[in-house]
A and B are shown apart, each in its own frame.
Chain A
Amino acid sequence: MMDSSEAVVADTKQYIVVKIDNEQYGIDIGYVDNIVRMQRITRVPKAQDYFEGVINLRGEVIPVMSMRKKFCLDDDVITGKTRIIILKTDQQALIGVQVDEVKEVVTLSESEVDKITYDKKQEDNNTYLSGIGKHDGELISLLDINAVISEEE
């Protein structure tokens, strides 16, 4: 920690740590455009069921998906801590993901991240992960953003 300035130069990445159900997930900060409070979501009929609908973000219509629904967890409980994270994808499109809580921003160096080496296809949930990060003795599942949003049902 003393030579943190050097650590930045080395292969480190910043992640936003969010809580979904009982787990902590990390989202690469490079993808994050914005974080907004919960707001009114307009339902879109016949869309994929993990999409909550669309919101108005500064005049743009942006689809919002629920991470809980995507991960087949219990239904969302909207609290004061619920947030929508607006992600900017590789295709330059915006998409919102609804999470239970945003906790902090952490910096992980490459040595603190374990790549997932086993066959991704074997366990469903893991297909959305790019690795596991260790921070202050806690584990953070790092999300593979492109897999999360582009995967077809």
Chain B
Amino acid sequence: MDVSQYLEIFIDETKEHLQSLSDNLMVLEKEPENKDTINEIFRAAHSMKGMAGTMGYKRMQKLTHVMEDVFSEVRSDNIKVTADLVDVLFRCLDALEAYLDNIMNSADEGTEDNEEIVNLLKKTLDGGASPEEETAKPAAGQESAEDKNESEDDQEKRKYKNFKFAEFERHAIIEAGEENKNVFAATVYVQENCLLKAARAFLVFKELENLGEIVKSTPSVQDIEDEKFDLDFSICVITEQNEEKVREAILSVSEVDAVYMEKLDTSIFEASASKEEETTKSDTKEESNATASQAAKAAEQKKAPAKAAGSKPVINRSVRVDLEKLDELMNQVSELIIAKNGLVSASEHDASLSSQNFTEQIEYLERITTNLHESVMKVRMMPIESVVNRFPRMIRDLSKKLGKQMDLFMSGEDTELDRTVIDEIGDPLMHLLRNSADHGLESTEQRIALGKPEKGSIWLNAYQDGNNVVIEVQDDGSGINVDKVRDKAIERGIVAPEQAQTMEDKEIVDFLFMPSFSTADKITDVSGRGVGLDVVKSKIEGLGGDIEVRTKKNEGSTFTIRLPLTLAIIQALMIELGEEKYAIPLGSIQTIEDVPIEDIKYVQNKEVIHLRGSVIPLVRLYGLLDCPPREEEPESLTVVIVTKGDKLAGLVVDNLIGQQEIVIKPLGKYIHVEKMISGATILGDGEIALILDANALV
């Protein structure tokens, strides 16, 4: 049978298992005795083995098989978890990830055998367990499964008893009996929260077909394929294998909750028709029984998955949607908002339309479109968790590699960001974390000498701040050596020495974001190759965000990333400059001020204003945007105060038009645009206004 249609499920599930393995191994490293974790790892390895086997990925199967064996021994206390073992297991995980990568790219697992890891694991196995125990193991595993079955044993669950065999089926069974083959009847239950029951059933069938021949199934194969069954299906299989093997094969398919089976006595089938009637009778009886006990059963079944739920994320009621479809939906919403803006502006200009009723309806429409936009935006949001959950592992590896002790503390993993941003943000964050681990934190000896805790700490905090999401990467290391950066900048000829002396530390530190600027004395393969911070910066700016760094000597540094919550629709203040209209994102506006001309002061030949205790530089948009200047300077200026982080700037504008929800559109491919223009938007009357990026102006 063709398994390619299940490739996607396989990939998704393997990813999930790998993540669970990685998380649990991290726990295991800290608490080598944690039984729950060990069981969880065993289970994950076991399911992966089964899945890989079904999909025909032999190498992956082999590796997971050894893993499973090791954990089976750990479970029965024959092997102790050591740091070495955890290391090997992590390597194992990497190897599995590599297989998965190959599979995702080419549907083929590749040719790497990972002999070394397999051998290492086997060695652990040999060291810990005598061969007898080894062979005893599968039986032990079986027993526990048996126990479970026995304890919940319940005749109603053995639905295969309701089998009605047709003449030819009975014939086949009798024949099998004559050939001394085993005939098993089994009822397989899939987990209640199983999403693709048909696929599971298919995998069960496939497993069994490897062992023998399936002669009967209820519901019919066709119905099972069409998912026309509840949580269980019954099968009758003829095989040369024993019961253990068959049970194992069925249980190797993941999301199979339980299997009830027994060996059928073929001789029964020789005595025929009268028997059949009986079964029919008992059938109807069972059925009524079944409905009666439905509730009890449901409760019971709920219990079983609950056991596994401890580690496995609860599956939400969700629909998988192609991102493209969401984009399309978002575009439609954008169009709707443009149309709404058109109506609003038409009603403003046409007196005949401005009756009260009409305005009310327009307001109503406005509310709906805003809500609709928010809903669609929320659909596109994903928790940042999917990106950051691989970092603990990375820091652990770095800690080993660099010979520094460090811990990663994360918070706000549930902060949500637009899906497109999520896809892009992983690499920059990884860069920053590596930076912190390699350059930020001092070596253990240095830390002791400085009287700091031996173990370095790195924090990754994410939280929402108004219309932005802020992600901070912080370390308690030595901080950035400002003098070193200054020297380097002078050496590179980026600034003149005299100029560098007058610059503030903060400005100096910003040099780090310039291309090919690295202060690392020695180049390690972790970081310090001079590609990094500039790439991080350009990537984040590409997402419409910005990055800042604060540092304090011997106390550490903090990189702060700000990202917009949405990329498509924002609230903006519309302003006028001469004949032209521009939009300034509301998120970056702090206040709007009327400033009399005489209040303008000069600092270093630059215009500034003094406002509530802070000195704010003025930005003349006229010059910046090449607008024809006004003939005469008015007596007071309208100044829009914008912020970026804790920096302020005052933008001088002619007129304020008002607040508006705007749809951001790109300017097209061929036209070069300055960074201060982040896009364009279409106004209600069809006119285009450019959007000013306050971040580039501050």
Q: Chain A residues in contact with chain B, CB under 8 A?
A: 40, 42-48, 51, 54-56, 59-63, 65, 89, 91, 93-95, 149-150
Contact = CB atoms under 8 A, between A and B. Distances in A.
A47 B671 contact: yes
Nearest to A42: B688
Enumerate the 10 nearest inter-chain pairs by beta-carbon distance, A residue then B residue, closest first.
A63-B671, A93-B669, A42-B688, A63-B668, A45-B625, A46-B674, A61-B665, A61-B680, A45-B626, A47-B671
14 contacts: A42-B680, A42-B690, A51-B671, A56-B687, A59-B335, A60-B665, A61-B668, A61-B682, A61-B688, A63-B667, A63-B670, A65-B670, A91-B669, A93-B670
Contact of A44 (B338, B669, B682, B690): B690
Given A42-B580, A43-B580, A48-B671, 12 more contacts: A42-B688, A42-B690, A45-B626, A46-B672, A54-B667, A54-B671, A54-B680, A56-B682, A61-B665, A61-B668, A61-B680, A62-B668
B666 interface: yes
B673 interface: yes
B677 A93 contact: no
Interface in B677-693: 677, 680, 682, 686-690
A95 B690 contact: no
A5 B627 CA distance: 55
Contacts of A94: 668
B677 A95 contact: no
Contact of A40 (B670, B674, B680, B687): B687
Nearest to B664: A61
| A40, A42, A48, A60: residue with the most chain B Cβ atoms closer than 10 Å | A42
B551 to A, nearest CB: 34
Given A42-B680, A42-B689, A59-B335, A48 B667 contact: no
B665 A150 contact: no
Given A42-B580, A42-B690, A44-B677, A95 B665 contact: no
A55 B689 CA distance: 10
Interface residues of B, number: 25
B136 to A, nearest CB: 65
A91 B682 CA distance: 24
A30 B665 CA distance: 26
Nearest to A149: B670
Contacts of B667: 44, 54, 61, 63
Contacts of B666: 61
| B627, B672, B689: residue with the most chain A Cβ atoms closer than 10 Å | B672
Contacts of B686: 56
Contacts of B671: 44, 47-48, 51, 54, 63
Interface in B616-670: 624-627, 665-670
B659 to A, nearest CB: 21
Contacts of A40: 687
B337 to A, nearest CB: 11
Contact of A42 (B335, B626, B674, B687): B687
A57 to B, nearest CB: 10
Contacts of B677: 44-46
Contacts of A46: 625-626, 672-674, 677
A16 to B, nearest CB: 20
B669 A48 contact: no
Contacts of B665: 60-61
Contact of B670 (A59, A60, A61, A150): A150
Contacts of B688: 42, 54-56, 61
A131 B674 CA distance: 35
Interface in B201-230: none
Contacts of B668: 54, 61-63, 93-95
Contacts of A42: 580, 680, 687-690
Interface string B576-612: 0000100000000000000000000000000000000
Nearest to B679: A61
Given A54-B680, A59-B682, A61-B665, A48 B580 contact: no
Nearest to A39: B686
B492 to A, nearest CB: 27
Given A42-B580, A44-B690, A45-B625, A59 B669 contact: no
A44 B673 contact: yes
A59 B580 CA distance: 19
A50 to B, nearest CB: 10
B256 to A, nearest CB: 47
A96 B199 CA distance: 52
A121 B672 CA distance: 25
B685 to A, nearest CB: 10
A76 to B, nearest CB: 17
A54 B677 CA distance: 13
Contacts of B335: 59
B626 A48 contact: no
Contacts of B674: 45-46
